[in-house]
Structure 1
């Protein structure tokens, strides 16, 4: 994605209240805002944007902020996941704080995506095929961040999405 100015890069992707409070706290310093964004949890800063049925959409339109819940290099055997990356294809589970979606890294992006729970990404007009977001460096910017715990979505929809995620993972 081409670089754009902050906060215009975050408009529509980040919860307006969170952005307003963070801009005030950071006194307009864009570096501080990005640091706070990297540390925030999806349910605090993301605008829910993941459709209920990803199989029914061809594109996730607009600029969206999502958080990595989990990921794996689907081109490697399970016992090789800790080896240094070479060529890879990451499959990610992402959340907008309310729902989950799967994504596939179509072209390699930042190494920050691999193995870190809580990493934030901003994506724009992402194609969807077979219910999976297709991420490339052209449609996705890795904000960074991370956490020591596994990220979960919140709310009544989260439980249903978690059970769908469990079923999907057990069939993979």
Structure 2
């Protein structure tokens, strides 16, 4: 179904503990991580994946494997837990994208916009946030039900900054 699983990183093997070996809890946790990883890969390599199973596998990684990694972080080398995190992140994303594709939602139609640009002006203080005027005009076009508060929160700027940008762009109040 997807050609991306070949590019996903593989799960790192458990590092050796030269002192006493790993405790049974660490070994069980690693086996659980391995099971989640292998299950996700199996689902991605199926021809006609069921979107429910793909979504459940992705949610299992987020809800089970990630908290398990957070608990393992205490006694494990940091490089190991970071490698595991960088392995499970793309796997969970790919499972979600494949689930969407199985439902008929094409990811090629999804565009990610970055309408806010931070510009360092050379003066002291925070950088200036410039918002794309075309984006603002489109967001506040007639027929759109977008609140200023909601848009400001989504853009990561304060309401008063959004109000100033709207005024500068000549977009009236509603």
TM-score with structure 1 length normalisation?
0.21
RCO higher in 1 or 2 (8 Å CA, sep ≥ 6)?
A: 1
- Determine which structure has the larger helix proportion and give its number: 2
Question: Which structure has the highest strand share of the two?
Answer: 1
